[in-house]
Amino acid sequence: MFGLIGHSTSFESARNLARSLGFEEYAEGDLDMWCSAPPQLVERISVTSPTGKRIEGAYIDSVFVPEMLSRFKTAKRKVLNAMELAQKTGIDITALGGFTSIIFEDFKLLREQQVRATTLDWTRFTTGNTHTAWVLCRQVEDNAPKLGIDLRRAKVAVVGATGDIGSAICRWLSQRTGVQELLLVARRPQPLADLQQELGGGRILPLEDALAEADVVVWVASLAQASNIDPSQLPRPCLMVDGGYPKNLDTRAAGDGIHVLKGGIVEFGSDIGWQMMEAAEMAKPQRQMFACFAEAMLLEFEGLHTNFSWGRNNITLEKMDLIGAASLRHGFQSLGLEVAAPIPSLSTT
């Protein structure tokens, strides 16, 4: 059985979701009540691959909402309790979606293996980052040519290059895709220098300078504050793949030669018959989902009950190959560009 741990994108949408799922009492509660509410197994799901294999899974809402980020202990408890529920439910492999893996990593929850009577078994969980990284690379490779961008002659900026997903993308793009030049953007100088050395190339640049040169921008950094990008400084055409969480780039701001694509999202070949992706504000909620969630399904399809994506900077090209092949085999497609109406300004929200 596979599991997905997710949460709503805001307290308001969480309340609306609770109402639509018949959890009326929760919908009426205030944020303090939600802080004390236990995780909920809200949906059971079955998915059938084009190979004919059928798998069963469950969606667990951690009852976390981003408004709780400032409450360190609450956020930590939400993640651990949701993981405990997944394990107690007997789920073999669970993906940590949205902020769940971010909180797990940043709050160093590896130190918190004991949750009441349950010793968390890390092999039952995956961040899903390997599949996300593979999907983001695929989105670059599939969509840049559509805009007339020849990747062999293109400069590709990776914003958030030193993170788990970012560094995997850099490896793939430099070794597999053969882009002309990688522009490495990140906050901390030392990991950047280390990455550059590991890649044996790539140019380290501040964000603004990288944007002025980049034909393709892959965003995998999550920005603390809104930061404005001056679209007049960007080359045309420009493909921006927004793989951050939450999505920082407003797709409506695309246009005038700038194309923004929701990154790290896949579409399944048939309707899944679940309610949960409505909450994640997917364009086609019956088929689209975060690639990290899909990784749990893929691991279940493949019978790989292990923490496939775990820790930082452990994503190898071989693992990306493996999950990528599984993704194609089981009917997942990376989200492609849609035609966007031109709007003059581009900003991050």
Partner 1 sequence: MPTVATTTSVDSSLDPVGPTEGSDLPDFSTDAYKDAYSRINAIVIEGEQEAHDNYMSLGTLLPDQAEELARLARMELKHMKGFTACGNNLGVTADMPFAQEFFSPLRNNFQAALKEGKVVTCLLIQALLIEAFAISAYHIYIPVADPFARKITEGVVKDEYTHLNYGQEWLKAHLEESRAELEQANRDNLPHVRRMLERVAADAAVLHMEKEDLIEDFLIAYQDALTDIGFTPREIARMAAAALMG
- Residues found near partner 1 in the complex (CB under 8 A): 21-26, 28-29, 32-33, 35-38, 40-42, 69-70, 72-74, 77, 81, 84-85, 88, 99, 101-103, 105-108, 111, 116-117, 159-164, 166, 185-189, 191-192, 204-207, 221-224, 227, 245-246
State the nearest-atom distance from the C-beta of 67 to partner 1, in Å: 11
Nearer to partner 1, 163 or 202 (CB): 163
Q: What CA–CA distance (Å, rounded) separates 291 from 297?
A: 10
**Which residues are within 8 A (CB) of 10 and not within 5 positions of it... i.e. 6 or more apart?**
65, 66, 67
Largest CA distance in the chain: 57
Least distance (Å) between residue 298 CB and partner 1: 22
Report H helices in 149-306: 164-172, 189-199, 207-213, 276-279, 291-301
Residue (179 or 229) nearer to partner 1, CB: 229
Nearer to partner 1, 36 or 123 (CB): 36
Q: Least separation, in Å, of the C-beta of 146 and partner 1?
A: 27
In the complex, what is the shortest distance from the CB of residue 38 to partner 1, in angstroms, rounded to a whole number? Answer: 5
CB nearer partner 1, residue 156 or residue 185: 185
By beta-carbon proximity to partner 1, the closer residue of 57 and 191 is: 191
What DSSP state is assigned to residue 41? E
Residue showing tokens 């560094």: 167
Cβ-contact 60, 41 below 8 angstroms: yes
Q: Cβ 310 to partner 1, closest distance in Å?
A: 15
210 versus 335: smaller Cβ distance to partner 1: 210
For residues 160 and 224, is the Cβ–Cβ distance under 8 A?
A: no
Amino acid at 77: R
Q: Please report how close the Cβ of residue 152 comes to partner 1 at its closest, in angstroms.
A: 26
CB atoms within 10 A of CB 268: 21
Residue 267 to residues 138, 154, 332: CA-CA distances in angstroms?
Answer: 13, 27, 5
Q: Which residues pair with 125 in a beta bridge?
A: 94
